[in-house]
Structure 1
Amino acid sequence: MHLKLFLAQGTVEATDTIDSGHVLFDRVLLSRKKEVIEEFLRGEEEASDALINYPNDFLQKLALSQLKEFGKLVLYRSVATVYLGEVCNELYHGYGLLLYRGEQMRFYEGYFQNNCKYGYGLEYIGGDIYVGKFVNNKPEDSNGLFFWANQDVYHGCFVNGMKHGQGKWQSGDEFYSGSWKYNKPEGEGFIRSALSEYKGDIKNGYKHGKGIELFNNGDRYEGHYSNGKPEGNGAYFWSNGSVYRGEFKNGLRFGYGVWQFGTEKYEGTYINDKRNGEGKYTWGGGSYYVGSFVEDLRHGFGEMHWDTESFYKGEWFEGSQNGEGEVWEGGKMVEKGYYENGKIKIPVTKEEGERRLLPLHTLNKKAISQVGQQSHSDRKRFNSFQPNKESVKLEKLKGQRTTNQLNRPALNEKREHIK
């Protein structure tokens, strides 16, 4: 049975939003009734424990006159409350209005059973409103409604006074539909915000487990989450066509992964969303670099191959040849020496060059150790690398096209420096 005073017949429709247009709730009548209740509490005379018949004119003003059809109408006054309604054996029983004295406006109108709110009713507490069934003074309904004073709204299951079971919640642009457990989203659900839509596993109110998130800018993430953000294995697809598949930590690419954009491709390790450690970067036309990276730049020991017969191997610093190295073409070493910013500065003899090149792998290991990665000899273990689970920030992945581009000198320009 619906409340006669506040609700007409009808329920909220099961859509992907909570449309207040479907809630047949008379807010105008509620507002008038609040004013009458405030006036009554301010002007009430001495309290009395006696049962009295309430004046009919005030009943009409409160819109409670239809209570007469349920039985004798009585008024109970106490220090904390005022009750106007039906009784049985001097207990609230049937339909009535319970007013609470105090600074905060609070009242309940609906059905009672043995002094308890029991059955269909409406409770108003400081601007928050619940409409639905009660059991032993607590909301318990598979189709209850809760309106917050800030205009948030929940429609769904209540158990023992808590949101529990299937339900929908909306606050401005934010919307959730799915399973609830003890007042928090948990289980499978759908989340929509001003930035994205997510469908997947929820735990303790956070995205947690496996899910898919679509961003308004066209990006997409598919994979695992922990405490609301990507964690573990996943794939991120940018709207410009680039894609990363691999490990995530703290919302960032972290561990082993493969990134690709058109003909460009990187395979290797990441730390905090940047290439750090051992990896291979391939460009179109067959050129590629394999070796050490630090903060997205070639740094340490590595080899730059321009084609199948020509390459440079040696030291790099912040994206350029810096240190000892050598150039090979057609199966022969054509240049060896010390390089600075991509240009050879000190050519050396073959014998001296071989001696100087001995410590290059040691430099490579040192560069990698500075960012906490494995050494060159540990590359075979990258596929089994699993980062620790921590909370992450997906927002840091958005618009990462700049970190997907290798900061490098032009290949033709580099070739001129080392021929």
Structure 2
Amino acid sequence: MASTPLLGGRTLDRQTARTLPPGPRLPTLAQTVLFASHRRTFFPRMRGKYGDVFTIRLVPSSRVCVVLSRPDDIREVFGSAPSVMHAGEGNTVLKPIMGAHSLLLLDDEDHVRMRRQLMPAFSGQALRGYAGMVHELARADVATWPTGKPFKVHQRMRNLTLEIILQVIFGVTDRDRLNQLRPLLDKIVSVSPVIMLGGFYPALLRVRPWRTYLDVQQQVDEILYDEIAKRRGNLAGRNDVLSRLLAAGTWSDVELRDQLVTLLLAGHETTATALAWTFHELARSREDLEFGQRAADTGADDELEAILKEAMRLHPVVYQVGRRLTETADIAGYRLPRGTTIMAAVGLVHRDGEHFPMPQEFRPQRFLDDDPPAPGTWMPFGGGARRCIGAGFSLMEGTEILRAALAAYDFTAPHPKPEPAQSKNVTLVPSRGAEVTVTRRTPPR
């Protein structure tokens, strides 16, 4: 199916431009810089000036992006037919990195088919099977944390979530192969916005640093293809994601490779950052820390998950998610033409006092109250047919890591003030790495 042309400087006529939601008149490049580096302050300012629906323009081609911040409007977008709201077309910049078969790049029937094949590996039963492996990896890592001096827990979480991807998702347990893969995958997940430009301008892929990145990627691919070949027909006793995918679907090697790399890139930095923000908040509140420690000691998974959810609300790792209209549609009171990019501003909803009383405060109990947040107001994993397939895995992983860490340590913050967020690629990370200090707990009686 042919891709939908972007609505932008080359395809937007003056009459249509006058019917779009209001927005800033800054040059496209200036808006792009503000969006890329300061979206956490840029979007609230635009909402305050132009209302709940506004338009911004971004590179390439001065594309028209309509930003939504009302849950009802966002639910309408998430609930629309996937054939009308394409998500894959908005991710084409990732094609050189993730591969043409990546779930994030597919739309329509191809997306439905691939998602159906992936689902068995992320069912509730499958997640329960992974939990023990995740917990053992978390306990082993937590035992090596430095005590009595500040350290950046974000980097610790990046290392741990990478190890979980290696062993629980890829199913690699051989020590030599793990040692071979770790430095390579670290380079893959550290992809920068400069490297991602290669998706817009393919000619760049032939020169450095893009060529260097692709060379590393090729080394990883050779190892992944070798693992896939070894695993086919040899699944007895295996409980990792790759083995479950092989057991449940009919895959080509290239399709499997693309899904594994997608799980790596989509699930590594996001989960690590969500956990870093979680520990950052717990270290700054003795009351919340003790609440979490009691939950870890007693096996209260719903309370540990509430802590994680609240950190994801207060500190959305991904501030917005996008769709591209494949046909003209009426959305949020506007008739938006084909090719418009729709942005659901998750971060604006999460900080809206109408939906989350005292939105600036860290209050995990809000997810445990008799009157929890309304459906469609907490959306760190998107929604609708494109909701992140790894959402359940991420929450399970975060719960097990919290359990292991909170059972072992007391946490304090070396700096009393909260760390500001800074943009890193498409995520918002703690600017100082989420510094904490831990001391060993006395085991509860």
Using the size of structure 2 for normalisation, the TM-score is 0.19
Report the structure number with the largest CA radius of gyration. 1
Using the size of structure 1 for normalisation, the TM-score is 0.20
- Identify which of structures 1 and 2 has the higher relative contact order when contacts are C-alpha pairs closer than 8 Å and 6+ apart: 2
Higher helix share: 2
Higher strand share: 1
